[in-house]
Chain A
Amino acid sequence: DQQVKQNSPSLSVQEGRISILNCDYTNSMFDYFLWYKKYPAEGPTFLISISSIKDKNEDGRFTVFLNKSAKHLSLHIVPSQPGDSAVYFCAALRGATNKLIFGTGTLLAVQP
């Protein structure tokens, strides 16, 4: 049972435009969400997070939006840069546990 889903396995965007990566979850008990960026054969790099008590969090070019009623979150990257090309994972935590559940990942390709 995949509790965190990223339905787009890949996304291609032109440099300078907005990249929007989407993530859906099924477990309403999740209350902390994170986005990680991963290059091949490297560990995931933390990008940005959001608590369930918020609906938006912004850090530089990265903004995460959370819609709790729809059980949906999205990561916006503006403007997109070629160095942003990587696999992006959303992940979720439930309550006071430390079991991080990852989504299936979306491969972002930013074209120069």
Chain B
Amino acid sequence: DTEVTQTPKHLVMGMTNKKSLKCEQHMGHRAMYWYKQKAKKPPELMFVYSYEKLSINESVPSRFSPECPNSSLLNLHLHALQPEDSALYLCASSSWAGVTSTDTQYFGPGTRLTVL
């Protein structure tokens, strides 16, 4: 089973709202990721959590705040977003032994975010 789940599937929010995206996996994976994908573009890495600690932040604006409550869950808290933040937000996970690069990331279905 290589399932990563994401909720909600769609989200519409105003620029003053606070909302959260949720991601869950039960594969025992120790690395989890947030990506952002704009239309007709490849996914772009935002954050990486390894063993529940933030290991990579790709210079993402502070209006995006990730959280990893436990090894199965990953949240992305959103506050004061801009219309240009509208995109498909993808979560992924991988087994990540930490010493090998042959680490396959498995993606969830994504959350389609629209900022008005």
Residues of A near any B CB (own CB < 8 A): 31-32, 34, 36, 41-46, 49, 51, 89, 93-100, 102-105
Contacts and interface: CB of A to CB of B under 8 A. Distances in A.
Interface stretch (B12-20, B64-72, B106-114): B106-114
A24 to B, nearest CB: 14
B96 A43 contact: no
Contact of A96 (B40, B94, B98, B107): B98
A49 B100 CA distance: 14
Contacts, number: 68
A41 B108 CA distance: 11
Contacts of A98: 31, 33, 48, 50, 55-56, 94, 96, 103, 105
B88 interface: yes
Interface residues of B, number: 34
Contact of A99 (B56, B102, B112): B56
A46 B2 contact: yes
Nearest to A9: B40
Interface string B55-94: 1100000000000000000000000000000001010101
Contact of A32 (B31, B42, B101): B101
A4 to B, nearest CB: 8
Contacts of B100: 96
A46 B106 contact: yes
A63 B111 CA distance: 31
A104 B31 CA distance: 24
Most buried by B among A44, A102, A105: A44
Most buried by B among A31, A43, A94, A97: A43
B101 A99 contact: no
B115 interface: no
